[in-house]
Structure 1
Amino acid sequence: MIVKSKGPDKLFGRYNELVLLLLAFVLTTVVGGMLTYAFQTKARANEEHSARLQADLARASQVSEEISRTLDRRLYRTRVLLWAMKDDARDKDLSVARDDYRAALADWNENLNRRYSLAEYSFGRPMRITLEDGLTASFLAIHKEIDDCLRKAGTCDRTKIETLEDVINDLNLNVYRYDTQMLSLIRAGTVGSFLSPPVPLPDRFDMIVFLDHWQTLIGATAGGLMGVVGALIVASRATRRERRIAASALLPELMSFRGAHESLEERARASQFSRTEVEKATCRSLVRVQPPAVILHSPALGQLSDIDARLYAHLNHCELIHRYFERGLAEFERMDNDAKAPMPAANIAESEERLQKKAADVVTNWHLVAEHASLANYYLDRFIFRRWPAWAFKLRMRFLPNDLDQRSKHLLKTGELLRDKDAKPSIDEDKPI
């Protein structure tokens, strides 16, 4: 009688595995999904905040540069006009100074409201009020005095001009302070939509929010389940697409192996050569026209490894045997060329024997490569390029195996081909493929 040793008691008894699975689902899907959502939401908010801040900083820099340049230009043109009036400049020089001053004044007045609105948006209402009621009003007062002097030529004495110069010097300091304040706001990042914090919503009871707080776990669970299902669907489609691409790239090479092998076999059946001559002629034909094998030796086979064990076994054997086949075919070509060179009569028999042995090895590997390629082609067609699900083909292959299924089973089990033993292969080496 077999006595079973009593193991340690499980935490949840007979439902230990199920409870652990549910706990794993809750911790990984629900809690993980909630944490992921929270971090993603925060990261998205930070990204949007950073992008909006950069845009507002760039706009504020442009506004600051435009306002500062305009203020300095008008201030300088006013100084030049006062200097011309103070020095009793010639009419031509005075006319030039007046024209420059009027150009600066026209540029200021043409964009006055736009600059007010830009200043308020980028730097706030206090900065706009300072620009409008402080700097602009000072410029307007100075303009009235200058205009009065120009209209009443000869009545504007030097004392009044010097007083205006003192006013302009004070205004220059105010313009400098205003520029400094704009740069300080830009440096602090309190420009545009970041001038003040958002106004909080009024704290009131909301039934929908209250219920949402209680149903967060249920919603997160449902969302986690839908996320798992959606992720599985997306991953399945992506994996299927990658497999189809890899199979589509590999399929022409497998078909070329199969086509070349069938062509050589058909010519062999139509010929009356001996077996050794058939093998050497086959090798010579393969030297002339060898099917390409680029994808077969690439990492693309790894994408087809988990479809079916038989498919991957055939592809792996085909790739491995093909390497030995290529190496043996290159050695056969070298030995065949050496055999054509003049040599002593005693060495001819030995060279021919070595050549026949090498040809037999190459042809054996060639048959195995072609058989593995044909069977891999068969499984690729069933598991990837057909619309029926793979499990249906696996059931049919298990309970109703056809000739290809039997050949695959025999080849993978014994490493030998399952073929008719009465067939007599022969080939004409002079007949082109």
Structure 2
Amino acid sequence: MASTPSAPATVPSRGSFSEATRIGAILRKETVGGMLLVGAAIIALVWANSPVADSYFALRDFRVGYAPWHLELSLGAWASDGLLAIFFFLVGLELKREIVAGDLRDFRKAVIPVAAAVGGVVVPALIYAAVNWGNEKTIQGWAIPTATDIAFAVAVLAIVGSRLPSALRIFLLTLAVVDDLIAIVIIAVFYTGEINVLALGLTLVPLTLYTVLAQRYRRFFGMKPAAAWLILLPLGLATWALLHASGIHATIAGVLLGFAIPVIRSAASGGPSAGPGLAEIFEHRFRPISAGFAVPVFAFFSAGVAIGGIDGFTSALADPVSIGIIVALVAGKPVGILVTTWAVAKFTRARLDPSLRWVDLLGMGLLAGIGFTVSLLVAELSFGAGGPENDHAKVAVLTASVLAAMLAAVVLRARNRVYKRIEVAERADADNDGTPDVYQTGR
């Protein structure tokens, strides 16, 4: 008997009801963090351009730590190398959760957002490289416009009051998670200098012990928060310190530690339906620390740049570094995401979700142009903490993020009534059978 052909996939995929609910909860938590991040950046900018600007830079450059262990760092470096490792720890947890129990485990659902993320990295990098071609110093910043700041993007959504349907929420978060993974690989491969082999080898000792304990006693650490703080945290700190001493950027330690945490409840449970695993429990515990403290403090120490009035601002924007970053983030991101999504959809014969239009994906692409956190980090790795290129790159990242946010707000605000009707339909269907369907909602 001939098999019935399956219905063509939709772009973007709606995912399962549980996945849509989980991602919606994550995005709601990121809203507050995004607003704190923006607030911290504004305070830093105002302070760095005030009559008492010297006190801001003195605070940022104040050094503290133990020099023999290569840990005598400025407060700004502690924020970028230390606190940001908490953010990347959550990235590792979320990425592993998506691969093991989320929509990334299904190739048909994952291929389009993954391809869109790749396109959203490659096109901005090529645009920046084209603008700065021939300049050996500024070309080093090619990776600055490749990142997406999900917290800042969600803060924009909260401000414009957008009621994103589940399909777009899943698309946005999946794209951002894959985008962060690519950024991690770029930092590890292209922004690592001389390697201390001994320190790198010693890193494996606490990391291995941490992994074995987390895997073997997952239920114990899930039920006893104090045990995780007293046993796993010291091992995590040792892993971070040794990786920092090895010459690899210490935020990579956060990713490795996140990947070491088990996702499912137990090895015998057989799959993602077993209930919340240690990764999900840790995500609930650490996300408030990351969104409410670590990332805003990093933004405070990284976003402060002395602009020098209107003349200084226009001079910074005229730098090829700034031109490349702004064009790459504001135009390159949406173009890379849209073109790649369209091409993969054509190749896979997927069709656009009947309740959406391509302008909705344009809104997602513009939101992805908000670089901020990781872009500021990559700018420091590219040009060092001081120097005009780093300052101009910061000005460009901030300017591009604001422009991308404004353009995304215009597009999404215009579609907000449609999103409200989709949300009502999804809730009604969830009440009926617990799973959202594809709706022929009015456009």
Please state which band the TM-score falls in when normalised by the shorter chain.
under 0.3
Length-normalised TM-score, structure 1: 0.21
- Structure number, greater radius of gyration: 1
